[in-house]
Structure 1
Amino acid sequence: MTTAQPNFGLRHFRAEREADWQRLETLLDLVEKKSPKRLTNDDLIELPRLYRATLSALSIARETSLDASMIAYLESLSTRAYFILYGCRDSLWRQIGEYFASGWAAAVRGIWGEIALIAALLSGSALAGYVLVATDPAWFSALVSPELSGGRDMQATAEHLRSTLYDRPEKGGLEVFATYLFTHNAQISILAFALGFAFGIPTFFLIAQNGIMLGAFYAVFVPKGLGYGLTGWLMIHGTTELSAIILAGAAGLHIGRAVAFPGNRTRFAAAGEAGRRGALVMIGVVIMLLIAGLLEGFARQLIVADIARYTIAAMMLAFWVIYFMLAGRPQRG
């Protein structure tokens, strides 16, 4: 008698509601395997009612500790119905448009603290690299590899350094150069983001390393009177490229901070939330690096006038600042 009563209650519970579950499952299969357009007007009206009825049955089943397999079935059915009713039904192009209209900028604004910290780290390490090499030129070879310096080292003459800034390249090959630069910078940025999972510590080292190398190059050019030219040569693409690297490092640090300090959440949940925001930032970072690669591979090589380089650099910086500050914000008034 003690086991018959629960079994009877389970059969009665199922018999009262199973027709609705089967009907809901049929409609969901129709939408998932064929098309929502196959639903009639009556089906569209019936679908929300069946979903609510299934949720009610699931709630009762959980409270009364009914059969575990039935609870799992109702959970699966409810989840499928939820995504059909409330999931994103926008087209791919609409989702892309919403990402650039608001999603990317909102994600960037959500990590502004990490952005400020990474920007300060990059600037500070660049200053440290400059001071080290200016104080003791022997530091240059320790900080910058010969492959990266390409002859722009402490022994280079002013004429040679000037030629690297202003001489036009030989015809052809720029598209290959632009592709190489995009690939190289993308690898650095993705690495800075990925290393964030290790509490952000490797990200700090990677950003600092790039800043120190930047400062070391300034210590080569500035004593030759070429600091102004070097800045224009760098910033025509650097306002986009360095901004992208800062965003990538900040996204990685955002994840590291969530892992180290999850608050009331579990570390897994905190890392997941931060990872989703960071992923939104990184999608845009790749776009920025593509633009920077084109500017670096083409514009920097073909435009040799300082004023033109500075103008392009200022315009790009203004564009990114305005976009990230204002895109997607609600209109006032």
Structure 2
Amino acid sequence: MKPLTTWFRKQEADTPPALESAALRSDRFRLEREGDWRRLEHIVTALEKNRLRRLSDQDVLDLPVLYRNTASSLAVARQTSLDAATLEYLEALVRRAWFQVYGPRQSPFTWLRRFFGGGLSRAVRAIWLDICIALTVMIIGTMVGWLLTDRDTEWYYALVPGQFADERQPGASAEILRQSLETKDNAGGLGTFAAALFSNNASVAILAFALGFAFGIPSLLLLVHNMAVLGAMLWLFSQAGLAPDFLAWLSIHGTTELFAILLAGAAGLHIGRSMAFPGQKSILSAAAASGQRTAKVMLGVVMMLIVAGLLEGYARQLVGSTAARATIGGGMLLFWILYFFVFGRGRDAPEVDAPS
């Protein structure tokens, strides 16, 4: 019995140092990684409580990385048999983070309801400064087109594409110009026309957005060029005393179409401005963050261009009264202004972008 008693005594003497070593190893492991765990817990808690306003763009971008690092820490903790409290904490945190990174997403119906129920309007308001800059540039472009054509009519042929000019060109009589604004007898074939108009307008808007990656300057130049075309045509009809009729004819679809192109140009400018002035971020991370912010805006632009194509292909061709045309165009403009800048203001929705 003596050897066995001696063995037990030896084990009792060896136990405290072993436990002390394990505790030190656990403490060191936790201290080296606890900062990332706490940050992940903060992000997950904010997401669970639908408080995205409290998170920065970098927090959202780092969420998958923090989740993978914490899951790796959990695997190491299990292999090295760290203390039960650390294991329990990490298991709970990894489960919560997994749900936010890979968990079930909301249904398409719920996403659409939240998108049209305030997500889009808030995204537009988030780039209000870029909208103001783009609007100023568009007004300047219209004035440039008018002044250049008024100075030399050859500028009209340089600015206005041939398919838009046809009989609408300098020297045309007021009667010919008025006839170009008249309605069609029926709507036959207008569906194809509407589809072609949507394709053209969408290409302009998408190009204005895509050029934003060149620090936004090409986007502004494209807005100037497109609005110069409008300024030249406005000058033409004004010379014949038909400016109100032309504006009413154009407004049916123009208030929606030009608003969409304005938003697309502003979205491109927002990305370019973020890249030119990234602040504490790298250029690539600033571009990624602004790209996420403007993605909703571009989805709204596509929706608006569909509406504009339908209005241009049908309503503009079927409504002949100048007053009725102006009422439709003005009503659409009022609708977009109220929707983007009034509707959804002040709501704390989970899809709100992080402040720029």
Q: Following TM superposition, by how much is the alpha carbon of 1:147 offset from its aligned partner in structure 2, in angstroms?
A: 2.5
* Residue identity in the other structure for 2:127: I
1:129 Cα deviation after fit: 0.7
8 Å CA contact 2:208, 2:223 repeated in 1: yes
Q: Deviations over 1:195-240 (max 9, x none)?
A: 1001111101110000101000011110101100000011111111
Asked whether 1:221 is paired with 2:237, we answer: yes
* Structure 2 CA distance for partners of 1:235 and 1:159, relative to 1, 3 Å: same
Tell me, yes or no, if structure 1 residue 293 matches structure 2 residue 316.
no
| Higher mean displacement: 321-330 or 116-125 | 321-330
Deviation, 1:151, is 2.2
2: distance between equivalents of 1:56 and 1:291?
47
Residue in structure 2 matched with residue 198 of structure 1 by the alignment: 214
Q: Does residue 230 of structure 2 align to residue 210 of structure 1? A: no
Equivalent of 2:138 in 96, 110, 122: 122
Task: State the shift of 1:170 in Å.
Answer: 5.3
Report the counterpart of residue 21 of structure 1 in structure 2: none
Which of the residues 282, 290, 308 maps onto 1:266? 282
How many percent of aligned residue pairs carry the same amino acid? 43
The higher-RCO structure (CA 8 Å, 6+ apart) is 2
Q: CA deviation at 1:79?
A: 7.1
State the Cα distance separating 1:143 from its structure 2 match: 1.4
Specify the alignment match of 2:44 in structure 1. none
2:97 is the alignment partner of 1:82? yes
User: CA 1:213–1:56 in 2, change beyond 3 Å: closer, same or farther?
Assistant: closer
Q: TM-score, normalised by structure 2?
A: 0.71
Residue identity opposite 1:82 in structure 2: A
CA distance in 2, matches of 1:260, 1:294: 38
Q: What is the match of residue 109 of structure 1?
A: 125
The corresponding residue for 2:178 is 162
Q: For the residues of structure 1 that align with 2:164 and 2:95, how far apart are their CA atoms?
A: 54
Once the two structures are superposed, the pairs formed by residues 166-177 of structure 1 within 5 Å of their partners are 166-169=182-185, 172-177=188-193
What is the one-letter code of the residue matched to 2:212?
G
Change in 2 beyond 3 A, CA 1:85/1:277: closer
Counterpart-to-counterpart distance in 2, 1:277 and 1:145:
34
Which residue type is aligned with residue 275 of structure 1?
Answer: G
Which range moved further: 236-245 or 81-90? 81-90
Q: Which amino acid aligns with 1:84?
A: F
Cα distance in 2 between the residues matched to 1:129 and 1:85: 52
CA RMSD across the alignment: 2.9
Q: 1:79 to 1:292 in 2, by over 3 A?
A: farther
Aligned length: 272
The worse-fitting range, judged by mean Cα deviation, of 89-98 and 284-293 is: 89-98
Distance change in 2, residues 1:121/1:301 (3 Å): same
1:150 positional shift = 2.1
The 3 A distance-change label for structure 1 pair 85 and 236 is: closer
Unaligned stretches of 5+ residues in structure 2: 1-20, 27-66, 78-89, 349-356
Per the TM alignment, residue 89 of structure 1 is displaced from its structure 2 partner at its CA by 3.2
Q: Counterparts of 2:193 and 2:94 in 1: how far apart (Å)?
A: 49
Question: Structure 1: which 5+ residue stretches go unaligned?
Answer: 1-7, 14-51, 63-74
Secondary structure of the structure 2 residue equivalent to 1:155: coil
Q: For 2:340 and 2:169, how far apart are their aligned partners in 1?
A: 37
Q: Distance in 2 between matches of 1:196 and 1:83?
A: 35
Residue 251 (structure 2) aligns with: 235
SS at 2:180's partner residue? helix
